[in-house]
Structure 1
Amino acid sequence: IQGGAESRVTSLVWVPNGAGGRLLSSSVDGSVAEWDLFHLQQKTVLDTVGVPVWQMAMEPTDDQLISGNKSSGCAANGHANHNGSTDSELSYVDDGQSSDDEDDSAKTSSSYRVNEFPRLALACDDGSVRLYNVPESGPLTYYRSLPRVSGRVLSVTWSNNAKFIFSGSSDGLIRCWDSTIFHEKYRITAGLGGAGSGSEFCIWSLLFLRCGTLVSGDSSGSVQFWDNRHGTLLQAHTYHKGDVNALATVPSQNRVFSAGSDGQVILYKASKDEFSAHNEKVAEEQMHKWVYVGYVRAHSHDVRALTMAVPICKEDAVPEEKVVKARRKDEFSYRKWAHLGVPMLISGGDDTKLFAYSAREFTLYSPHNFCPAPQRPLINLARDCTVNGDSVMLVQSVNCLDVLLVSVKNKLTPSTSSGGDATIRQVIHLKSKGSRKIIASAVSTNGMLFAYSDCVKPCLFALRHKGGKKFSLDKIELPKGISCSQSMMFTDDSSSLVLSCNDGKIYVVDIASRKISNIFRPTSKIDGTKTSKEPPVTKMFVSADGQWVAAANCFGDVYIFNLEVQR
């Protein structure tokens, strides 16, 4: 889903309300956007607050607290845990019970919810935490703001019962706020004695556990565990060599993962403290010691984000394979541990990679590098076109297109390399209107037509060769009513442009008449009934003879159309 060209996403939250929930993102421009996963569109639900928003946190709901109970049989992502696996083999903490003297924030109740709609907390650059109501649809509505503090607020999280809000700032302080009276209850000096770099000591990440422990990650590389009742330090680990950017926990909340700018993802596990276990005056969260288990360094750059998911909701039986004796030790494959109901840690980094880890056997299996492939091709070569013996190439950038002529000194077959003897000359440089981000582009087989689509509408152009090195560009008006296109291509004879648009339809435009010659409406059957409500097609391919078109949407549905009979 394409976003704004000048915007930078700082955090994501999932709002579990309505029919399917809402995905929201914050930005450095101070706005909050919603991402429509069906129509593949972004829309602003909160105009800029005037300062960057660094992090967001959703108020816990009753359903989340119930599903968080280990004995409920619920798993993440709204999928039932049919195989009964609740991560109990890793449980060192009784997640479903609390001691009598434990603070209310560790109990699984949401009695401190004071509003009809869940509230979204925004950590803002001006030192304030702003609260907004999140309805089932439509824009966010302002609720109120917590008192402004010194420094920038960089992280925010809620207690399990929504009574308290915890914020971390650039002055090295963690503050606990009462969400009912909006007063500061206490503050923690997390940077005391730390090795932070520069004048700021930044609290980049906060995580509240069901047992009542607050976890923080900061710019000194420390991961610290705090008693949420009094703000006292329970334990600290300094295994990171740089900023700790993200924290995550398993569904049973007895394991904590941290990720940092050193590329490491580190696991900490809760274990019983025998001395404290015999002391009746010690609270339950203090009876557990967080032990460093190990690390995995899969990323080559900073790790920016961590999340816990149970993504596999259906699993087909795999036929048994014959065991072949290996001469050397092979790495365990992704299929060894990725199964139905198994929690999976996912990390994302500045190296643009996503890795999945086994949350149960974190150090046993190698992480799985998965990519949302296939990526859109940014370079297209006109198959049957030469201009004075040179090939025509279309190159797509963020907000512009370049038409290039590729000249090869020694004429080679398509299967051979030019060996550096190719020269490239730019003949056309075209910027999108308003510098809007380009979603898709295509060039015809004869090289004389090319098209692109931004987030508003598609555009079609004709390339005219005036002889020698002179070229001109003519814009061809497309029929009205065609919205932005997720994918486009020309037919084999360059007579028509095929566009898949956000309304779920596929338009075939006759270039000579500049009219829509046909509209394909992808349909699928659900429980034997045809439905016309389909997500937009994101990929299209045409057969070599130009007769068939294969189209696929973002949910993996594939449609086949016949251009000859137009159906």
Structure 2
Amino acid sequence: MVNYHAPQARARECVVWSVAFLASGAVASADSFGRLQFWDWETGTLLESHAMGASAALSLAVSEEEDSIVVGTSAGATYQFQLLPVKMGSQEKRWVRTKPFQYHTHDVRAVAHSPTALISGGLDGQLVIRPLMERVQKKGYEAALRKFTFPHRRLVSCARKARLLLFQFSQHLELWRLGSTNESGKDGEVLPVCRVPEHLVQLKSKGPEHIYCSCVSPCGGWIAYSTASRFHLYRVQYEGDGVNIEKVPNMPKLPLPAYQLQCSADSSNLFVASDRGSVHVLQLLEPGGCKHLHTLRPPSGTPEAVYLLAPSADGNWLAAASGDWEIHIYSLKRFQHHCAVPTYSCAVTALAIHPVTNNLIIAYSDQQLFEFSIPEKQYTAWSRMVQNDGLHKAWLERDSPITHITFNPKNPSHILLHDVYMFCVLDKSLPLPDDSASLMNQSALKQLPATARKRQLHAFKICKKFQPLLFADLLDENCLVMVERPIMDIKTQLPPPIQQKKFGT
């Protein structure tokens, strides 16, 4: 056994935060002294050492060819090291620090090295993809720097009928009643509220496990959440200004964790997304009980878990998307498999069933949109037209995926969708824009006369006033709720990235 120790150059203890084993027989280590070091794994001899300043080196990742390494530090910087020849044409190679990048404000605790990019995740809540220009074939979208702010999963759920919002934090839930106003105004005006938003309940999770998913029923009477090893269901009752919440006892035993929770439109059933493509259907009983009705599974089986659910408004259908990119549709009347959507080459980011037509709207990670008719088991004519004509180039080059889809019951041709940076109303009755047209033309259209405005109308109406956008949903025909999460609010709660001693103290 070989004892690997860093040289005791300083009095304080050195902590090795990350290691990687190379095919050459070397071991790469990143430590709290801010060094990337290479060791001979058999003798424990230090081969090379590279300092990166006063900040600690927290993470490292090696490329598949093992000729490039990316290191993340506590100062928010990432460094690339490349294995290069000592001299032109020489067979001897050494590791050289070539590129420093500063895209984070705090600890970079996770890094990855793809064939064409460096990927880093920071304590500031951002995921950054930095392309390596020498490895990118085309100087287009693939060569653009991309930043992702929020996780691509639901952290807010809405009880439309009760006008409540449930916020999911790492180890607790908060239930809020939305405020209201009696005033009306013009576009862009801020209206006074006659009733302020009210914090009703804070529900804390016991133990160290984080909450994985949660939901509130449309009526507001049920709250469910799951951790890695526990599933909880609560009955919520409202008495005047008071709230009474009780835990439902004798819950059915389900395989955990649950990957998503979703209630039916009438709040009578709870759908629990589980592993191996299964969805458990629980019946919610008055005054506060629960019964396992059925487990839905795809006919061919799958090792992947279900991570997205979409029930229909009439209670007849349920769509489930799993990690193998397959979407299965089940009949809730007969509790059996109805059909499967043709498999696409990208992951599903959002899906929803239209309340009038029972058409399934699907958004994929490459920004493509599809419409699938559940009764007819095929793509609709509008969906085929979209694929033939193609979506606007600016739409397809967006970084942030669509995370939520809903509909306007007052206008069945409207599809409401949003990502972190925009809210969009997609009008199926209008033509799709071509690449020569402006995708965001709302402000320009307001300046045109009515006749000219009609000639330039297209299907996409985009609003970027609210961002970063964590959640958006339609409460009723005349009310839309949006939840912003400003990045600065997150950063102000973080400690300073590096504790530095000031001169004279």
Pick the TM interval, shorter chain. 0.5 to 0.7
The question of whether the paired residues in 2 share the 8 Å contact of 1:522 and 1:534 is answered with no
| CA distances 1:97-145 after superposition (whole Å, capped 9, x unpaired) | xxxxxxxxxxxxxxxxxxxxxxxxxxxxxxxxxxxxxxxxxxxxxxxxx
Q: Quick one: distance in 2 between partners of 1:457 and 1:275?
A: 60
Q: Does residue 99 of structure 2 align to residue 294 of structure 1?
A: yes
- With over 3 angstroms needed to count, the CA separation of the structure-2 counterparts of 1:461 and 1:290, relative to structure 1, is closer
Write the letter of the residue equivalent to 2:180. V
Residue 26 of structure 2 is aligned to residue 248 of structure 1: no
Q: Is 1:453–2:226 an aligned residue pair? A: yes
* Structure 2 counterpart of 1:430: 203
Task: Supply the AA of the counterpart residue of 2:71.
Answer: S
Of 150, 153, 163, which residue of structure 2 is paired with 1:375?
153
Letter in 1 for 2:243: F
- For 1:535, what is the secondary structure of its paired residue? coil
Are the aligned partners of 2:32 and 2:57 in contact in 1 as well (CA < 8 Å)? yes
Deviation at 1:260, TM superposition (A): 1.9
Pairing of 1:327-366 with structure 2 (within 5 A): 342=115, 345-358=118-131, 361=134, 365-366=143-144
* Other-structure match for 1:542: 311
**1:417/1:487 Cα in 2 relative to 1: closer, same or farther (>3 Å)?**
farther
Change (3 A) 1:540 1:411: farther
2: CA distance between counterparts of 1:474 and 1:552? 32
Structure 2 residues without counterparts, runs of 5 or longer: 337-505
The CA deviation at 1:416 is: 7.5
Residue matched to 1:322 = none
Verify: 1:167 aligned to 2:15, yes or no. Answer: no
Q: CA 1:503–1:516 in structure 2 vs 1: closer, same or farther (change >3 Å)?
A: farther
Query: Shift of the alpha carbon at 1:243?
Result: 1.8
Shift of the alpha carbon at 1:383?
A: 0.7
Deviations 1:509-540 (A, max 9, x none): 333475657424221xxxxxx53355332221
Distance 1:202 1:436 in 2: 26
- The Cα shift of 1:349 comes to 2.4
Question: For the Cα contact (< 8 Å) 1:412–1:418, is it kept in 2?
Answer: no
Q: Residue 519 and residue 204 in structure 1: after superposition, are their counterparts in 2 closer, same or farther (change >3 A)?
A: closer
Q: Does 1:258 align with 2:63?
A: no
Q: Distance in 2 between matches of 1:233 and 1:507?
A: 55
- 1:209: Cα distance to partner? 4.3
Which letter maps to 1:551?
A
TM-score by length of 2: 0.53
How far, CA to CA, are the matches of 1:449 and 1:263 in structure 2?
Answer: 42
Task: Pick closer, same or farther for the CA change 1:366–1:489 going to 2, 3 Å.
Answer: closer
Counterpart among 500, 504, 507 of residue 280 in structure 2:
507
**Which of 493, 496, 519 is matched with 2:294 structurally?**
519
* Counterpart in the other structure of 1:59: none
Cα distance 1:547–1:344, how it changes in 2: closer, same or farther (>3 A)? same
Q: Find the residue that maps to 1:408 and give its secondary structure.
A: coil
- For residues 210 and 367 of structure 1, do their structure 2 counterparts lie closer, same or farther at Cα, with a shift above 3 Å needed? farther
Aligned-pair CA distance for 1:490: 2.0
Which letter maps to 2:86?
A: D
Instruction: Give the structure 1 partner of residue 243 of structure 2.
Output: 471
Alpha-carbon distance change, 558 to 291 in structure 1, aligned in 2, over 3 angstroms: same
Q: 1:397 aligns with which of 169, 177, 180?
A: 169
The answer to whether the 8 Å contact 1:457/1:483 transfers is: no
Per-residue CA deviations over 1:354-378 (Å, capped at 9, x if unaligned) read 334456837994544457852122x
Deviations 1:369-417 (A, max 9, x none): 457852122x3332112xxxxx333333333333333333545699988
What's 1:489 paired with?
A: 262
Max radius of gyration: which structure? 1
CA distance in 2, matches of 1:554, 1:563: 22
| Contact 1:483/1:503 (<8 A) preserved | no
Counterpart of 2:397 in structure 1 is none
CA distance in 2, matches of 1:435, 1:414: 48
Alpha-carbon distance, 1:213 to partner: 5.3
SS at 1:551 equivalent? strand
> For residues 436-471 of structure 1, what are the alpha-carbon distances to aligned partners after superposition, in whole Å with 9 as ceiling and x for unaligned?
54332222222223333344453333332333x233
Q: Relative to structure 1, is the Cα distance of residues 251 and 417 closer, same or farther in structure 2, using a 3 angstrom cutoff? A: same
TM-score, normalised relative to structure 1: 0.48
Kept in 2, the 8 Å contact 1:240–1:262? The answer is: no
Q: Gaps spanning 5+ residues in structure 1: where? A: 1-145, 147-164, 174-188, 278-283, 310-341, 386-390, 524-529
8 Å Cα contact 2:37/2:46 also seen in 1: yes
**What letter matches 1:349 in structure 2?**
G
One-letter amino acid of the structure 2 residue matched with residue 380 of structure 1: S
- Residues 18-51 of structure 1 show CA distances to partners (whole Å, capped at 9, x for unaligned) of xxxxxxxxxxxxxxxxxxxxxxxxxxxxxxxxxx
Contact 1:488 1:500 in 2 (8 A): yes
Q: What SS does structure 2 have at the residue aligned with 1:361?
A: helix
Contact 1:410 1:418 in 2 (8 A): no
Letter of the structure 2 residue corresponding to residue 221 of structure 1: G
Question: Helix, strand or coil for the counterpart of 2:212?
Answer: strand
State the distance in 1 between where 2:121 and 2:250 align: 40
Q: In 1, distance between residues paired with 2:284 and 2:331?
A: 19
Q: Is the 8 A contact 1:384 1:447 kept in 2?
A: yes
Q: CA deviation at 1:564?
A: 4.2
Quote the Cα distance in structure 2 between the aligned partners of 1:508 and 1:241. Answer: 54
Identity, % of aligned pairs? 24
Judged with a 3 Å threshold, the aligned counterparts in structure 2 of structure 1 residues 362 and 532 are, in CA distance, closer, same or farther, namely: closer
After superposition, the C-alpha distances for 1:480-530 in whole angstroms (9 at most, x for unaligned) are 34444332222212222222344753233333475657424221xxxxxx5
Structure 1 566/166 Cα, relative in aligned 2: closer, same or farther at 3 Å? same
Note closer, same or farther for the CA distance 1:506–1:546 as it changes in structure 2 (3 Å cut): same
Matched residue, 2:493: none
Distance 1:384 1:413 in 2: 24
8 Å CA contact 2:212, 2:226 repeated in 1: yes
* Partner SS state of residue 498, structure 1: strand
547-556 vs 399-408, greater mean Cα deviation: 399-408
The answer to whether residue 215 in structure 2 is matched with residue 442 in structure 1 is yes
What is the rounded CA distance, in whole Å, between the counterparts of 2:315 and 2:64 in structure 1? Answer: 51
Query: In the superposition, relative to structure 1, how do residues 373 and 245 fare at CA in structure 2: closer, same or farther (>3 Å)?
Result: closer
Give the one of 311, 323, 332 matched to 1:563. Answer: 332
> Does the 8 Å CA contact 1:458/1:483 hold for their aligned counterparts?
no
